[in-house]
Amino acid sequence: MGRDDSNDVKLNEPTTEFPEYDRDGADADRAVDTERRDGERRDSDRGAAARGLARPVLWLLGIIGLIVALLLVNQAIGLWPKLSNPFAQKETDRSQPVLLQSIQDLSRYVAAEGNYQVVIDVQRNRENVPDFLLNRRTLFVGAGSVEAFVDFSTIGEGAITVSDDGKTVSIKLPDPQLGKTNLDLERSYVVTEQRGLLDWVKDVFANDPNRQNQVYQLAEERISTAARDSGLIERARENTRKMLEGLLHSLGYTTVTVTYASP
């Protein structure tokens, strides 16, 4: 029997019974295919962008690693000379030559030296004015030394007497003196400094380099007082006597008497 093609139904083609249904199904299939292709295209674009971004990053990391390796090798074997730091600290000394003012001949014998340390806590403020406005408090640790010496240049005539047999000698010396306090700035330091608002503004604009002089002077005065009260003069008397006795005994004197003039 022959085949009746007129009765065959073609898929996805509109029919007389359901024309709208068949057309909508085809459109939906095409929309799904389009969305799928767009998604694949976007994924491909993102992958290409990621690969494109990763390539320069890998190159950069490789270059950095190569530079670090070369620096380590150079440090180990000294392949190239050391490179200077372009931001190294620079110091310019514009000091003037030392000017000689005077020379003095000293005839003093330094018999003892005392080393002292003092803590200075000074506050300067104003009455009826809040401390946050006007107030300056400085905590300073001062270290210094004081010498005790005998000035041999003041020994007058008749201060030294020798016996007829040349075995006994008597010496009358001036009483030891205390020298000026030498404040050691390397061992002295400001612990803290509190300032009010107006004092802070004044320091910013005035920039007085000598504002700590009062603290230094006070530390020197305290150290000088401590030297007088610490028995440094008595130690100088004893050390000078021992020095002269040893010296004169070596010269053949058997009896040496050392006295001091009243201060």
- The neighbouring-strand residues paired with 109 are 150
Look at residue 7 and tell me whether its pLDDT is greater than 50: no
Q: Which residues of 10-36 are buried (b: 16+ CB within 10 A; e: fewer)?
A: eeeeeeeeeeeebeeeeeeeeeeeeee
**pLDDT value of residue 120:** 93
Distances (CA, A) of 143 to 118, 192, 209: 6, 16, 20
Structure tokens at 217: 């002077």
168 CB-contact burial (10 Å; exposed 0-12 / middle 13-18 / buried 19+):
middle
Q: Which residue has the higher pLDDT, 201 or 135?
A: 135
- 67-110 tens-digit pLDDT: 877 777 766 665 556 556 666 778 888 888 888 888 877 788 99
Sorting pLDDT into bands at 50, 70 and 90, what band is 2?
Answer: very low
Look at residue 248 and tell me whether its pLDDT is greater than 50: yes
- 181-234 tens-digit pLDDT: 999 999 999 998 888 787 677 776 776 667 778 899 999 999 999 999 999 999
**pLDDT value of residue 30:** 60
Look at residue 65 and tell me whether its pLDDT is greater than 60: yes
- The neighbouring-strand residues paired with 124 are 136
Give 260's contacts (C-beta < 8 A, 6+ positions apart).
Answer: 172, 173, 174, 175, 176, 237
Look at residue 39 and tell me whether its pLDDT is greater than 70: no
Look at residue 36 and tell me whether its pLDDT is greater than 80: no
Give 194's contacts (C-beta < 8 A, 6+ positions apart).
Answer: 135, 136, 137, 138
Least confident of 3-17, 39-53, 61-75, 226-240: 3-17
Q: Which residue has the higher pLDDT, 41 or 202?
A: 202
Look at residue 26 and tell me whether its pLDDT is greater than 60: no
3-state SS assignment for residue 250? helix
3-state SS assignment for residue 26? helix
**pLDDT value of residue 44:** 62
DSSP E strands: which ranges in the chain?
Answer: 108-125, 135-151, 160-162, 168-173, 177-178, 182-183, 189-195, 255-260
- 142-179 tens-digit pLDDT: 999 999 999 998 888 889 999 989 899 999 999 999 99
